[in-house]
Structure 1
Amino acid sequence: MTHLDDTESDDIGTLLGADGPFARELPNFAPRLAQQAMARAVQQAIAGRDTLIAEAGTGTGKTFAYLVPALLSGERVIISTGTKTLQDQLYFRDLPKVRSVLGARLKTALLKGRANYLCLYRLDQTVREGATFERTQAAQLATIRAWSARTRRGDRMELAEVPEESPLWPRVTSTPENCLGVECPFFEDCHVVKARREALEADVVVVNHHLLFADLALKQEGFGEILPGAAAFILDEAHQIPELAGQFFSQSISARQLTDMAKDVLTECTGITGAIGLLLEPVEALQDALRKLRLALEPLPTRGAFQLLEDRADVRASLHELRELLATLEELLASQAERSRGFANLRERAELFTERLERIVESHGDQDVRWYETFPRGFALYATPLDLAVPMRGLRERTHAAWIHTSATLSVAGNFDHFARQLGLDDPRTLSLGSPFDYARQGLCYLPPDLPDPNARDYTEQVIESVLPVLHASNGRAFLLFTSHRALRRAAELLQDKVPWPLFVQGTAPRPRLLEEFRASGHGVLLGAASFWEGVDVVGEALSVVVIDKLPFAAPDDPVLMARLAALEQSGINPFMGWQVPSAVIALKQGAGRLIRDVHDRGVLVLCDPRLTSKGYGRLFLASLPPMPRTRALADVQVFFANALSPDARDGGEGRAGV
């Protein structure tokens, strides 16, 4: 392990210290010892090509703590974030600040997955097809065309007027399967190629976990030549990695992929003599087989082990028919492959999908968990590795680089074993840095008394009864986080007529809009499930209460989780304490982390689940939370809010008083 000499270590700490350039040049920059300690650890890890796990509590300033050593290292560094929003924030806001203060003359690049970039070929095709779009989509297509003439990056994040969920986006972006590559008539102007080229020449590349793993695990995005040669990979929001790695080391095939391919075959037939006569019937037969298989899956649970499919004769027959028809289509496409670039590409897609389907249906190894999932109009089949540690270890070894994992939530009561075991991190360096926030003064944790077992039929009703007086004390300004959509819907019904504050319910509008309206309302109550537990940042008075209805144990309907738990049990590890509790602790820490986002925030965390005090494992959850005072008395909550400054002073933007 490489140790830096003291002058070098002190150097980076000094840069971020009270007399350093950041304190001098950036307004509102607060020197923090934890930030300096993390910067030193990151610097050492990059120099020694080490593996580091750094847990940094909210407010540590971890972005600067890894950007400063990354930019000073003189090495090629890949930085990966949990979401595209964070990626943009890092690239457009934080990175330019650090570059400017350090005076670093470096090339930086932003790289996303190809679905984020406008595909000029697909746009041209969509316009030429002249399909009769309904009014909204026709207007959106006109907007995209106008933007295509002026955009430099072609990144759809630039075009807020066309919502992310618009069905037009898949028609004007490419996938690894339908991209024509160098054969494409628009190749020279391709936004994906340009972004890739920039990344290839850059010293610091900002990616997101989806892209990083698609590339490292599968080489499927075709960015394979960009990531090698990096001296360090810095993974921010690293608590998401185990889940994502599972997705990317999986083999999968979906009804949607096959339907899209079938549509593209028919589009390609236009203008090629005799093609439609040859291909129309097999394409329609394939589409019909997909509908038939989806219908056969109807009586089954929405997700489950592959065994459930094999136990049903009608599903087995439908799967067999689908495989036969896909193989036939592949042969016919091979006969047309010479006739156009599009057909050559479609033949390759059909070949790839045939192989994947064969592999999933025929796989009998004990290394993979085979499972399925159904959606309202489709389905997907998967084979996921049982143990991610093996492929993850292999992937890291191939890179010969430093791997730095950071997040506010990686440990369980100070212990990193669960995270390290999932990713096969053997003997990593670890660093645990508390938050600089004064939780004893800024926060209060309320455990409502007398709540029933979370399995009780009227549990959600009782939770809302317990929470209403808290909401009255805080005058709204609350997040209510639920572990299931069913509880979320029930709570929304119950609160509808009981509260004077505006309600914002997940599912009624896109997440960014809900958050914006919640902030603007000043006294809103937002109800959210999984996606609101993390990555959501509301600073200040608008959010003063976070309520969590139950401990976030993973749903027992997850076939991969069930198989992993069974494998742990066979190897002599208690799956509940060895996996389910640690995973739930990390998820709870994420949810609780929504409450205090800066040094002036004050708020109450309401944890409703009685198992926190009635079960032995409850202690692990409580020991993993920020060090707030805890109470079972509603009166303490009322006093906490009564002791805040008067509304008049608060509106004047003054600081907030302690409890």
Structure 2
Amino acid sequence: RGRWLVALVGIAGASLFFGESVSTSQLLELARDTRAEAVINAKDFKALPEAAERMAKTARDLRLVFREENVRLSAAQIDERAAFAPALGTVLDALRELAGVLETQAGRSEGLEKCWQRSLDLVARIERWQKPDQPDRVRWAEVYTQALALNVTPLSVADIFRRQMEDNPRAWIFTSATLAVGGDFGHYCGELGLAGAETAQWGSPFNYGEQALLYAPENMPEPSAPTYAEAVARTAWPLIKACRGGVFVLCTSLRAMKRIHELIEDKLSAYDPDRPLLMQGQATRSELLERHRAAGNAVLVASQSFWEGVDVRGDALQLVIIDKLPFAPPDDPVLSARIEHMKREGRNAFMDYQLPHAVISMKQGAGRLIRDERDHGVLVVCDPRLIDKHYGKTIWRSLPPMRRTRSEAVAVQFLESLGG
């Protein structure tokens, strides 16, 4: 007891955990909570809710500096926005003012004390974000529809994680179905600093050869082709028609997700208007999953949020279609910084980082299909690079040992045999 620690640690999750973030959502939540506390515990001190509202306005104005949404920007791209630095400075001034006002009232309630501590923490986070880039970290921002997050992410977590383990001397066990790349744990161990770790791999309890079929369609255009989304929708349609259970269409970008959803909607509205068609963003993830399971034959078109951590069993999910191999976009600020960092170390960023990450993401997406011994279904990988490129073989070998085909007729027949 107390000597074992079982961990499910993803590399991307570890980078975020050991990084730091401050968002306009956090600022607005602080303003809201401060006003609520003021109503109850500082009614006689009007300066407090007024300071909270001023800070909230600066946070909303900071978000409005960016016209885009659902994008990631590097620090250099952010610096190109002339209005950003003054807007962030205004936020910091208003936040410091609020912290000062909160300090005078913190003794009146535990809630006001907590708001004061939160304000100090947010001031410190913004000040650290403003510091110039360090060699081992990257500053970047993510712009959402209604929020902006400023992030600092370590380029490598190996040393940080190793120190965490040294500070907690015990047996550490890392377990997941997606740690290995082609049976090799080297990438995972290297990224987390697990030098000398003992590794083992056990076969799946699922009979993939009987339960599932992997279909790699022929004659697909290159993923960079302008009409690639149309080709994915064309490939998906006969399979969706043949499938009487539920369907996931997993996309690698929000733009592709919206376009593929639009194309499927056109077909489905004419062929089977009563069949539910869902898209990520129409409701929360849990609400969409609940509706998908309840319908039994729904088609869900989604992006990154549904590639992992989603469990739909039985006939409610018989078909998973993946549009592209899940390589992170090359203009992603964190990936770009890591590539440059690895080049300086004389490493091959594609083979050492981008490909292993794509393999792990692909295994996570493919893992949505078969969740227990009674599940059956078809996994479709539309991207021709799975077959045509030499690195595709690494991904191909890492996928579950399903029966494999390049024939649409075989895939349709398999789906029709499942019922639903």
Taking structure 2 as the reference length, the TM-score comes to 0.89
Residue equivalent to 2:194: 425
Q: Distance in 1 between matches of 2:314 and 2:35?
A: 54
| Partner SS for 2:315 | coil
Kept in 1: contact 2:220–2:382 (CA 8 A): yes
Q: Could you tell me how far 1:266 is from its partner in structure 2?
A: 3.6
Out of 218, 232, 244, the position equivalent to 2:4 is 232
Residue equivalent to 2:163: 394
Q: Which amino acid aligns with 1:481?
A: L
Residue equivalent to 1:549: 323
Out of 403, 420, 423, the position equivalent to 2:172 is 403
Distance 1:609 1:331, change over 3 A: same
Out of 362, 372, 377, the position equivalent to 2:141 is 372
Q: 257-266 or 488-497, which moves further after superposition?
A: 257-266
Distance 1:518 1:331, change over 3 A: closer
Q: Could you tell me how far 1:400 is from its partner in structure 2?
A: 0.6
Residue equivalent to 2:307: 533
Q: Which amino acid aligns with 1:457?
A: P
Query: Following superposition of structure 1 onto structure 2, how do residues 149-548 of structure 1 map, counting pairs within 5 Å?
Result: 230-236=2-8, 238=9, 241-270=10-39, 272=42, 275-276=45-46, 278-279=47-48, 282-298=51-67, 302-475=71-244, 477-499=246-268, 500-501=271-272, 502-506=275-279, 507-548=281-322
Q: Could you tell me how far 1:432 is from its partner in structure 2?
A: 1.1
1:602 and 2:376 are equivalent in the alignment: yes
Kept in 1: contact 2:4–2:171 (CA 8 A): yes
Residue equivalent to 1:587: 361
Kept in 1: contact 2:276–2:297 (CA 8 A): no
Distance 1:472 1:257, change over 3 A: closer
Q: Distance in 2 between matches of 1:437 and 1:612?
A: 23
Residue equivalent to 2:400: 626
| Partner SS for 2:121 | helix
Distance 1:303 1:497, change over 3 A: closer
Q: Alpha-carbon deviations, 1:48-76, whole Å to 9, x = none?
A: xxxxxxxxxxxxxxxxxxxxxxxxxxx1x
Query: Following superposition of structure 1 onto structure 2, how do residues 16-165 of structure 1 map, counting pairs within 5 Å?
Result: 75=1
Distance 1:482 1:342, change over 3 A: closer
Higher RCO (CA 8 Å, separation ≥ 6 residues) = 2
Query: Following superposition of structure 1 onto structure 2, how do residues 559-570 of structure 1 map, counting pairs within 5 Å?
Result: 559-570=333-344
Distance 1:568 1:275, change over 3 A: same
Q: Could you tell me how far 1:364 is from its partner in structure 2?
A: 4.2
Residue equivalent to 1:167: none
Q: Distance in 1 between matches of 2:374 and 2:37?
A: 60
Q: Could you tell me how far 1:396 is from its partner in structure 2?
A: 1.0
Q: Distance in 1 between matches of 2:403 and 2:298?
A: 25
| Partner SS for 1:526 | strand
| Partner SS for 2:83 | helix
Taking structure 1 as the reference length, the TM-score comes to 0.58
Q: Distance in 1 between matches of 2:294 and 2:88?
A: 51
Q: Alpha-carbon deviations, 1:388-412, whole Å to 9, x = none?
A: 1111111111111111111111111
Q: Which runs of 5+ in 1 are unaligned?
A: 1-74, 76-229, 652-659
Distance 1:568 1:441, change over 3 A: same
Kept in 2: contact 1:533–1:594 (CA 8 A): yes
Kept in 2: contact 1:446–1:630 (CA 8 A): yes
Distance 1:609 1:325, change over 3 A: same
Q: Alpha-carbon deviations, 1:311-354, whole Å to 9, x = none?
A: 44322222223323333333333344445544444333332222
| Partner SS for 1:619 | helix
Q: Distance in 1 between matches of 2:368 and 2:288?
A: 15
**How many residues are paired up?**
414
Q: Distance in 2 between matches of 1:355 and 1:479?
A: 42
Q: Distance in 2 between matches of 1:597 and 1:273?
A: 55
Q: Alpha-carbon deviations, 1:174-229, whole Å to 9, x = none?
A: xxxxxxxxxxxxxxxxxxxxxxxxxxxxxxxxxxxxxxxxxxxxxxxxxxxxxxxx
Q: Could you tell me how far 1:250 is from its partner in structure 2?
A: 1.8
Residue equivalent to 1:59: none
Q: Distance in 2 between matches of 1:279 and 1:536?
A: 43
The sequence identity of aligned pairs, in percent, is 41
Kept in 1: contact 2:245–2:315 (CA 8 A): no
Q: Which runs of 5+ in 2 are unaligned?
A: none
Larger radius of gyration: 1
Q: Could you tell me how far 1:251 is from its partner in structure 2?
A: 2.3
Q: Distance in 2 between matches of 1:441 and 1:633?
A: 17
Distance 1:508 1:324, change over 3 A: closer
Q: Could you tell me how far 1:245 is from its partner in structure 2?
A: 1.9
